[in-house]
Amino acid sequence: MATDATLDDIALGDVAPALARAALSKALREGDPRTMQKAYAAVRAWVWKALDGRRRDPELREWFDVLKRLAAFLRTKDAALAERVVALHELVQESIAVSERFPVQSVLKRRHVRDVLKMLVSAPGGRVDRAGIGSGLGLKQGNLTRVLNMVTEAGLAERAAYGKQAEFQLTRAGEAVCRSLGFRKAAPDWEAGTWRARGAAAPLPRKDALEILPTTRLVEAVQRQLFEQAGYGSDRASVQAVKAAAGRTLFTKGPPVKRPAGQVVGVAREAHGSWPTSQPQAAALLLSEAFHD
């Protein structure tokens, strides 16, 4: 059972190459044909995940060595199965070759590459078509093709077909790079849509002082702006942080509360935490939500 669990871990991509090598060695020690089939299935699943994730990291070389050793071992036991493993390590070798031609850190230094990543990570649904990228960056066809080729070959984005239209979206590796660069995802479509619908259905009145009836409407207006304008994170922890900060200031027991416009801006700044006071335009955006014409 321990062997099966370890092989399952390889299939799930949850082990380092050194641990995978040890697990395969232990599993294949007795030469059981069924175990050899399980070992092949495990590494096949790992290779598929690596290709699907467009991995280009240095660890691929270690995995290439693991697969090459496995193929050499199987040649004396099951030649046909060994050839199938050879096909797998050749695929990994292709990924290594691409990573050498387009190393991520070098690609990130090329002009427009970071702009493309920022556009993709902030786009609704995480997808942008070729024409949208070109017009957004002001690139002509030749330069656009060159930039998109670099981004996709480096494993940061992939081309996907949606209906008749081809669009680009980040890979898992691209998402990780965006996180390291501080590029934030847009609010989830369903969440932003819910807030927009609520704002349209129950707009807040324009007054010198805002009467909170109920206070949740103001909190939602604050949240919308933090997500859509101020670049606040859309993960669950960030959502809860916004709600907690706004709730501490706005929620009260008893009769309705009136708060001046300036205090509403203060609430927004407290909710965001790091929102600089020197951004009057951002504060105005918030107020345009809280006080509409």
pLDDT digits (tens, 9 = 90+) for 219-275: 455 555 545 444 444 445 555 554 554 444 433 333 434 444 444 445 444 444 443
| Alpha-carbon gap, residue 44 to 85, rounded angstroms | 8
Q: Report residue 104 as tokens.
A: 């991520």
Integer Cα distance of 161 and 184 in angstroms: 24
The answer on 8 and 49 residing in a single domain is yes
Specify whether 125 is located in the same domain as 90: no
Which of residues 293 and 32 earns the better pLDDT score? 32
What is the structure's pLDDT at 159?
A: 86
* 48 and 82 together in one domain: yes
Let me know: does 110 contact 150? Beta carbons within 8 Å. Answer: yes
The gap between the terminal CA atoms of the chain, to the nearest Å, is 67
Q: Please tell me whether residues 276 and 235 are part of one structural domain.
A: yes
pLDDT at 283: 40
Among the three residues 123, 147, 181, which one is the final residue of a domain in this structure?
181
pLDDT at 244: 52
The answer to whether residues 85 and 115 belong to one domain is no
Torsion angles phi and psi, residue 279, rounded to 5: -115, 70
> What does the pLDDT read at residue 63?
94
- Do both 200 and 267 map to the same domain? yes
Residue 131 has pLDDT above 80, yes or no: yes
What pLDDT, on a 0 to 100 scale, did the predictor assign at position 69? Answer: 94
> So what's the pLDDT on residue 290?
41
Among residues 211, 216, 232, 230, the alpha carbon closest in space to that of 291 is found at 211
Claim to verify: residue 229 and residue 166 sit in the same structural domain: no
Examine the domain organization and report whether 95 and 58 are in the same domain: yes
3-state secondary structure of 103: coil
**H or E element in which residue 278 lies:** none
What CATH number does residue 151 fall under?
Answer: 1.10.10.10
Q: How many domains does the chain have?
A: 3
**So what's the pLDDT on residue 211?**
39
Mean pLDDT of 108-128: 90
Instruction: Tell me the per-residue pLDDT of 39-79, one tens digit each, with 9 for 90 and over.
Output: 999 999 999 988 887 777 778 889 999 999 999 999 999 99
Answer yes or no: do 83 and 124 share one domain: no
Query: What range does the domain containing 171 cover?
Result: 107-181
Domain boundary among 100, 116, 144: 100
Q: 154 and 196 in one domain?
A: no
Residues 127 and 82 reside in one and the same domain: no
Which of 100, 126, 148 corresponds to the end of one domain? 100
Triad 142, 181, 289: Cα angle to 5°: 95
160 and 249 inside one domain: no
Which tokens is 210 given?
């805002």
Q: What is the dihedral of CA 147, 151, 157, 161, to 10 degrees?
A: 40
Tokens describing residue 190:
């369903």
pLDDT category, 37, cuts 50, 70, 90? very high
pLDDT, residue 36, reads 95
Query: What pLDDT is stored for residue 95 in this prediction?
Result: 82
Share of the chain above pLDDT 70, in %: 61
